Chain A
Amino acid sequence: MAALTALRGLLRISSRVRDTHLLSRATPSASSDRCLCSAARANVSFSDPEVQQLLKRVTGCDLQKVFRPTQQPTLRPPSYKLLTDQQLQEAVSLARREAEELLAPPPELEERVPVCDVLSHDAILQGADSAKLVFTDITLNIPHRERFVVVREPSGALRKASWEERDRVLQIYFPKEGRQLTTPTLFTDDNLKVALSEGRHEEVLRRSLVQFEPDAAEYKRVQRLVYEDVERRGSFDLLRSTRFFGGLVWFLTNGKRIDALLLDMLHRDLVEDAVCLVRLFHLLHPQSDSAQQASNTHTSGLDLIKLYCQSDSQQRGLIELALQTHQQATALSCA
């Protein structure tokens, strides 16, 4: 028993040492979102402009899909305008700018650390009340992440509220549209499976964004389940041209499982997107063989994909076949 506690203490100390070691090695970024890989690999974060540009290229911008008609409680009849060519171009460019804002990916953050600080322990208050009392600072002009929410336990301890308690209390005082106090039953495993089997991945992700904070454990879990299901079914086109494709690509590239996505892109003749994907892979895993060879030889374009499929891919044969068919198709179309 004593040996067990000693071992646990040792592990805790060692983990703390490891964490501080990692923190000291990592370069501080303006926002704390870092990739989920260990600090031994590249210090590339999701919000880096280079990464964001690559993800934007890969997501694409299909205006027909972004501005497709949705169910709205108040409907207006359509308005028809007569435009010159230049006015039409201006309207299209305005639509593209709006689409860019709509396709901005939600932030990829690390899971939030549980809050369990006891501010004070007043034993004199023990048994004064049978229920916990939650005190919230409802000053209007402070951000929610700087708002104090504390809980007085019946034992007399005054502690900071946990993340779940914080979310619930902030939803009571500062309700957000669409968010519910209790988690909807959609996010249980069974119901998620049913919804994903019907192909409603985008809807599930949208609802999870509305319900949870981007660094909540629940959101991470739902996101992971949806992305894994997309990869398993190969239905990448469901999320293409939505704000979630960037997150999907980031998730797959971090886990080194980009083969299915690469194949899908090659089958749909999206060669530039495939090249961007491989470049992102090299950014995130610079220690891999293909990344080192690429940096040495300065390859680009289709050769980069060939280099990747020779060194690092698991489905080498399929990717080579797809590349061959694409090259033959381009040769035929040129000739």
Chain B
Amino acid sequence: MAASMRSIGRLFCRTNLLHQSLQAVRPGHVTLPAIRSHQVGTPCMQLNRQFCTPVSPEKDVADTLDALSRYKDRPWEYLESEEYIERYGTRPVWSDYRRNHKGGVPPQKTRKTCIRGDKICGNPCPICRDPNVIIHYQNVKLLQQFVSPYTGLVLDPTRTGVCMKQQKRLNQAVETARDHGLMPLQVPHVDFSGQDYSNSHAAVGNTPPAPVKTSEPWYYWYGTLNPDDREVARVKKIYKDYLKK
């Protein structure tokens, strides 16, 4: 009897909490519903206070909220902060992460995502486990940790341990950063020898006026053009089997 009352109370509590959690879930981060203070006097609330246990302690929620608000607008500041240096030092963010999998060979794709709704998996990837590590195209120092210094390619997720969703966001951020010129991009060498930039051809220059005498062609190639005999012979030789006799 008491147990069933307790379970009913917990159900009431949870539904109330869901209604009152107005905070939107940010992708890639754990957001815990806010605990609002209940009004005193209503019998329903009294029941809740008696039987309700909060989903998580107040302290953790406050911490997460604080952290989210602190580096949300300027994510690059976290990489200069003391807590980052204490936690990671000079090593990259993914250096001390190890995937859990069966057997010697890891699956060639990491997990699809670490965070589904409010729930975070066990052993989350290096980006999901630290809510202060935010992927942003201006956060160049973080992005550089995931790019190989020798090839310039983004490192494979099987090496860094990042989940597939964050890897996709990482690729997009690196591409945006290179587009903005914040990260270096290797371009091929362009050869300009043997090109004519005179712009004298009618295609790009001025159109000559239409001829006054209608017998004259407007451009010289509108009239009869005699093809080069050697070119014709060469093409005929290539397509000899297909030509009608």
Contact = CB atoms under 8 A, between A and B. Distances in A.
Given A145-B197, A215-B197, A160 B207 contact: yes
A191 B180 CA distance: 6
A184 to B, nearest CB: 5
B196 interface: yes
Interface in A270-317: none
B201 A107 contact: no
Nearest to A112: B199
A186 B175 CA distance: 12
A142 to B, nearest CB: 9
Contacts of A148: 203
A117 to B, nearest CB: 4
Interface stretch (B10-18, B26-34, B83-91, B146-154): B146-154
A71 B192 CA distance: 23
Nearest to B147: A71
B152 A71 contact: yes
Contacts of A115: 204-205
Interface string A67-80: 00011111100000
What band does the interface of chain B fall in when counting residues whose beta carbon is under 8 Å from A?
A: 20 to 34
A307 B190 CA distance: 40
A185 interface: yes
A234 interface: no
- Per DSSP, chain A at the interface is loop
B185 interface: yes
A71 B180 contact: no
B182 interface: yes
Interface in B107-153: 149-153
Interface string B165-196: 00000000000000111101111111011011
Given A104-B193, A117-B206, A145-B199, A177 B179 contact: no
B197 A109 contact: yes
A195 interface: yes
A185 B181 CA distance: 8
Interface stretch (A88-96, A203-211, A253-261): A203-211
Interface in A77-116: 102, 104, 106-107, 109, 112-113, 115
B152 to A, nearest CB: 4
B192 A214 contact: yes
A32 B188 CA distance: 27
Contact of A203 (B180, B185, B195, B200): B185
B198 interface: yes
A33 interface: yes
A267 interface: no
Contacts of B196: 31, 143, 145
Contact of B180 (A75, A177, A185, A214): A185
A314 to B, nearest CB: 33
A147 B203 CA distance: 6
A200 interface: yes
A209 B190 contact: yes
B189 A102 contact: yes
B181 A145 contact: no
Interface in A169-189: 177-178, 184-186
Contacts of A215: 197, 199
A210 B190 contact: yes
Contacts of A143: 195-196
Given A72-B186, A107-B192, A206-B187, A146 B181 contact: no
Contacts of B199: 32, 112-113, 145, 215
30 contacts: A31-B197, A31-B198, A32-B198, A32-B199, A33-B197, A71-B149, A71-B151, A72-B151, A73-B152, A106-B190, A107-B197, A112-B199, A143-B195, A145-B201, A145-B204, A146-B201, A146-B204, A148-B203, A184-B179, A184-B180, A184-B181, A186-B180, A191-B181, A191-B182, A192-B181, A194-B181, A200-B181, A200-B184, A207-B181, A210-B188
Interface of B: 149-153, 179-182, 184-190, 192-193, 195-201, 203-207
Given A71-B149, A102-B189, 11 more contacts: A33-B197, A73-B152, A74-B151, A117-B206, A145-B204, A146-B201, A160-B207, A184-B181, A186-B179, A210-B187, A214-B197
